[in-house]
Amino acid sequence: MTPFEVVRRIIPDGIAPVCDTLVSLCDELHADLILTTGGTGPAPRDETPEAMRAVVSRELPGFGEQLRRASLEQTPTAILSRQLAGTRGKTLIINLPGKPSAIRFSLDAVFAAVPYCLDLIGAGWMDTDPARVRAFRPRSSSS
């Protein structure tokens, strides 16, 4: 498993605080991976997806699709989720639900693809503990 540093930010709801924090983590701290939690539902205060769209250069819709698909196995209200993923420079940002058990379940559903995505965007190398989750990297055509 690759060593990493966890940086936590607890911020208020709202587009501006989320935007400002994401930009800071990407552009100043040069984070390779950002996981947001909460703010992805349909309530008026849930504005994380709007904030993320304002800061990413590319959306990666497959992450949100897989997060919702997997969550639907647990709860029918997963269709209300607006989870997204995208990139800003060499940073991958993934929006996760706010409930702790849903966060873990969601990460399990998509994390095998994260290390290869980081490779593709030029972020730092990430490997995983194969006993927990095996990182998937396609074989190169020269192999």
Confidence of residue 143 (pLDDT cuts 50, 70, 90): very low
Q: Please count the other Cβ atoms lying within 10 Å of the Cβ belonging to residue 125.
A: 9
Confidence of residue 2 (pLDDT cuts 50, 70, 90): confident
**What pLDDT digit, counting tens, does each position of 91-120 carry?**
999 999 998 888 999 999 999 999 999 999
Domain residue ranges in the chain: 15-121
Residues of the chain with pLDDT > 70: what percent? 97
User: The domain 15-121 belongs to what CATH superfamily?
Assistant: MoaB/Mog-like domain (3.40.980.10)
3-state secondary structure of 86: strand
